[in-house]
Amino acid sequence: VTGSADREPVSTLPPPGGVGRRVPRPRLGGRASVVAARIGVLAVALAAWQVAAGTGAIDTRTFSEPLLVAERFWNTLFGAVVFQGTIYDHLLVTGRAIAIGYAIGALTGVAAGYLLGRSALVAAVFEPYIVALAAIPKIAIVPVLVMFFGLGEPSEIASVALMVFIAAVFNTFSGVLHVDEELVRLARLMGAKRLTVVLRVIIPAAMPSIMIGLRTGVPFAMIGAITAEFVASTEGLGWAVQQASATFDPTSLFAIVAYLVLLTAVLGQVVAFAQRRALRWQPRP
Amino acid sequence: VTNTVVTDVRPAAAVPQRRSDRWAALRRRPTRLVRACLQAAVGLGFLGVWEVAARTGAIDELLFSRPTSIVVRVAAMLGGEQVYGRTIYDHISITMQAILIGYVIGSVAGSLFGFLLGRSPFLAKVFEPYVLIFFAIPKIAIAPLFIIILGTGLQSKVAIVVMEVFFIMFYSTLRGVLQIKEDLIGLARVMGASRMTVLRSVLLPASLPSMLMGLRMAVPFAMIGAILGEYIASNRGIGWLVLYSGSSLDSTGTFAAIVFLLVLTWVLDRLVGVIEARTAPWLPKDEKSSAPATAG
């Protein structure tokens, strides 16, 4: 829980440009073999799973089998009921909590990070608290939120907002703290008003790390929503996963996790789009 | 460089030591002592407001508890009082078992896999989409699967911790290995180093900083894994204690359990920090203290 915010913002996102970016040329015969190998890996894994389930090498009651999972996914896509609602009911509950909680957490987090980072004195005083807040396992606080807000949606929104707030405040804080004072002084010298300096210099300069905060906020929002649904809810994708586990239904569990992955991917794309728009002035890597 | 001209517009000799100026200087760069005092003041002020608000009834003590009751409860727990059937030491050791076993397995497997993909461009290309998909999966959503497969005991908790730690270590190691300059390896090879020597004397030391950083970052994630496992299906352990006292509306107990959790996380982080300092004493202090970023 030590360290300082006085460094580059750190994210747990994958390295930019993918994991294989340094690769000059694949040795085994070019792109075609890479694509073939990718499909091959997936096909072999699924086939092995299917065969092992079919021959009884693994217990289908705990591992299910690919064809069953695909069928369950397909049926739920067309409105089959899973755990007291269609998949769209659950998606709506989780999606709404994430949308509202994310908006609250992002706005308050960026605002608080800005206010705390702009004054050297305030920044120095609050730095250890912000760093500690970022490093603690936040899911420990979820039961406290449930205690305050009761079961269901309010505590779920609060849990999402808290996770996003902490990701946003941490990165905004270190971004604003690292704005080149030279730029600020130059702008002031050239006669810029305070508001102009804030809007045209400080915020654009801090924007890259603000956007990192907002992007790391997406998986955190997901974690917040799912944890809250695990702990205290009777609807939503996270609750459905929990139900699938409690009723020993691995087929539904895999199918619902597939929807969760899709939801995460969509949300990630939305924020990545916003990031590209906000950082248009930056040269492409 | 022309813009150094504007760094200080006031001539140095003309700085008068007026009160407002000293205050301005303090605001810009507070001394260590002032800073420490203010930091303590903020923390104590927060606790003070909490205590007074709870005592005067401004906030509901049943829900928010108050700092002094929490301190009393923590002391009682330290003294060996039974909390929901066990002493706090039993709860801690139950959780720590899962964390330690999972942390070791997860970090070893993660760094091996990171090395493998980092050093083989073909494998890296092949596994890239799967790695990115796995990164996108909210891993806590798969946690209930381990409960189905492994039951509700230690094993499923260990598996969840392994999963959390594995991915952190894998990405850190991969990032470290990809940063190594190919020239260094080529040079060593030209000078007659065997593959083993290259691995031991070039690859490992060069990727060590990012691996150590991964180890540090993985600590809160290991904690999260264990807590989550106890949230989902358990009747013991410190994560369970937080949840159970929360759902029994025992807010003092919840906060006390959280205090133990935070101290535990801090101790583990320090422990890894010490290991880090021992393993790579040549690293600059800056790089070593690049502590955990944000953890769910």
pLDDT at A275 over 80: yes
Residue B72's pLDDT band (boundaries 50, 70, 90)?
A: very high
Q: Rounded CA gap, A215 and A271, in Å?
A: 6
Q: Rounded CA gap, B139 and A223, in Å?
A: 8
Cα separations in angstroms, B229 against A115, A251, B101, B253, B294:
37, 21, 14, 20, 20
Average pLDDT over all residues of chain B: 84
- Cα angle: A284, vertex B175, B208; to 5 degrees: 145
- Indicate yes or no: CB of B140 within 8 angstroms of CB of A223: yes
Residue with tokens 């808290």: A162
Q: Rounded CA gap, A137 and B224, in Å?
A: 6
Query: Which of A120, A143, A224 lies closest to B243 in CB terms?
Result: A143
pLDDT at A25: 47
Tens of pLDDT, residues A187-231: 989 988 888 988 888 888 899 889 989 988 988 899 999 999 998
Higher-confidence position of A18 and B192: B192
- Indicate yes or no: CB of A3 within 8 angstroms of CB of B131: no
Residue with tokens 């390896």: B185
Q: What is the mean pLDDT of residues A252-273?
A: 88
Secondary structure of chain B in HEC code, one letter for each residue:
CHHHHHCCCCCHHHCCCCHHHHHHHHHHCCCHHHHHHHHHHHHHHHHHHHHHHHHHCCCCHHHHCCHHHHHHHHHHHHCCCEECCEEHHHHHHHHHHHHHHHHHHHHHHHHHHHHHHHHCHHHHHHHHHHHHHHHHCCHHHHHHHHHHHHCCCHHHHHHHHHHHHHHHHHHHHHHHHHHCCHHHHHHHHHCCCCHHHHHHHHHHHHHHHHHHHHHHHHHHHHHHHHHHHHHHCCCCCHHHHHHHHHHCCCHHHHHHHHHHHHHHHHHHHHHHHHHHHHHCCCCCHHHHCCCCCCCC
Q: What is the mean pLDDT of residues B122-135?
A: 82
Q: Which residues of B touch A134 (CB under 8 A)?
A: 292-295
Query: Which of B131, B138, B145 lies closest to A219 in CB terms?
Result: B138
Q: Rounded CA gap, A112 and A170, in Å?
A: 9
pLDDT at A13 over 70: no
Does the beta carbon of A48 lie under 8 angstroms from any beta carbon of chain B? no
Residue B251's pLDDT band (boundaries 50, 70, 90)?
A: very high
Q: What is the mean pLDDT of residues B212-220?
A: 90
Residue with tokens 């996963």: A241
Query: Which of B35, B142, B232 lies closest to A125 in CB terms?
Result: B35
Closest chain B residue to A258, measured at CA: B137
Contacts with A11 (C-beta within 8 Å, 6 or more apart), sequence order: A171, A212, A215, A216, B293, B294
Residue with tokens 């389930």: A53
Residue B16 token pair: 């008068």
Identity of residue A70? A
Q: Which residues of A touch B218 (CB under 8 A)?
A: none
pLDDT at B132 over 80: no
Contact B145, A253 (CB under 8 A): yes
Q: What is the mean pLDDT of residues B211-238?
A: 90
- Indicate yes or no: CB of B121 within 8 angstroms of CB of A170: no
pLDDT at A16 over 80: no
pLDDT at A109: 95
Find the DSSP H helices in A136-202: 142-149, 153-177, 181-189, 194-196
| B239/chain A closest Cα distance in angstroms | 7
| B230/chain A closest Cα distance in angstroms | 11
Does the beta carbon of B98 lie under 8 angstroms from any beta carbon of chain A? no
- Cα angle: B216, vertex B221, B225; to 5 degrees: 145
Stretch 155-214 of chain B: residues touching chain A, C-beta under 8 Å: 168, 171, 174-175, 178
Does the beta carbon of A259 lie under 8 angstroms from any beta carbon of chain B? no
Does the beta carbon of B142 lie under 8 angstroms from any beta carbon of chain A? yes
| B224/chain A closest Cα distance in angstroms | 6
Q: What is the mean pLDDT of residues A234-242?
A: 91
pLDDT at B54: 93
Query: Which of B129, B242, B266 lies closest to A38 in CB terms?
Result: B129
pLDDT at B234 over 70: yes
Contact B90, B106 (CB under 8 A): no
- Indicate yes or no: CB of B39 within 8 angstroms of CB of A125: yes
Query: Which of B122, B220, B249 lies closest to A135 in CB terms?
Result: B220
- Indicate yes or no: CB of B145 within 8 angstroms of CB of A231: no
Q: Is A93 helix (H, G, I), strand (E, B) or coil?
A: helix
pLDDT at B287 over 50: no
Q: Which residues of A touch B265 (CB under 8 A)?
A: 1, 135-137
- Indicate yes or no: CB of A63 within 8 angstroms of CB of B254: no
Q: Rounded CA gap, B1 and A259, in Å?
A: 56
Stretch 83-122 of chain A: residues touching chain B, C-beta under 8 Å: 119-121
Q: Rounded CA gap, A245 and A248, in Å?
A: 5
- Indicate yes or no: CB of A253 within 8 angstroms of CB of B148: yes
Residue B7's pLDDT band (boundaries 50, 70, 90)?
A: very low
Tens of pLDDT, residues B166-206: 999 999 999 889 888 888 888 888 888 888 888 888 888 88
Q: What is the mean pLDDT of residues B94-110?
A: 95
- Indicate yes or no: CB of A140 within 8 angstroms of CB of B258: yes
pLDDT at A239 over 60: yes
| A135/chain B closest Cα distance in angstroms | 5
Residue with tokens 């015969």: A29
pLDDT at B11: 46
Q: Which residues of A touch B122 (CB under 8 A)?
A: 26-28, 34, 37
Q: Which residues of A touch B270 (CB under 8 A)?
A: 2
Q: Rounded CA gap, B113 and A282, in Å?
A: 34
Q: Which residues of A touch B129 (CB under 8 A)?
A: 38
Contacts with B226 (C-beta within 8 Å, 6 or more apart), sequence order: B95, B98, B99, B102, B157, B160, B161, B237, B239
Q: What is the mean pLDDT of residues B79-87?
A: 88
pLDDT at A156 over 80: yes
Q: Is the dihedral of CA B4, B5, B6, B10 positive or negative?
A: positive
Does the beta carbon of A138 lie under 8 angstroms from any beta carbon of chain B? yes
Residue B40: other Cβ atoms inside 10 A: 11
pLDDT at B8: 45
Stretch 190-229 of chain A: residues touching chain B, C-beta under 8 Å: 216, 219-220, 222-224, 226-227
Residue B22's pLDDT band (boundaries 50, 70, 90)?
A: low
Contact B229, B98 (CB under 8 A): yes
Contact A138, A163 (CB under 8 A): yes
Q: Name which of A232, A125, A227, A30 is nearest B39 in CA terms.
A: A125
Closest chain A residue to B46, measured at CA: A129
Average pLDDT over all residues of chain A: 84
Tens of pLDDT, residues A67-117: 999 999 999 999 888 888 899 999 999 999 999 999 999 999 999 999 988
- Cα angle: B21, vertex B23, B29; to 5 degrees: 105
Stretch 224-263 of chain B: residues touching chain A, C-beta under 8 Å: 224, 227-228, 231-233, 239, 242-243, 245-247, 249, 251, 254-255, 258, 261-262
Query: Which of A24, A219, A245 lies closest to B145 in CB terms?
Result: A245
- Indicate yes or no: CB of A41 within 8 angstroms of CB of B127: yes
pLDDT at A59: 85
When computed from its CA atoms, the radius of gyration of chain B, rounded to whole angstroms, is 25
For testing contact with chain B, the best of A12, A64, A121 (most B CBs within 10 A) = A12
Query: Which of B63, B133, B261 lies closest to A140 in CB terms?
Result: B261
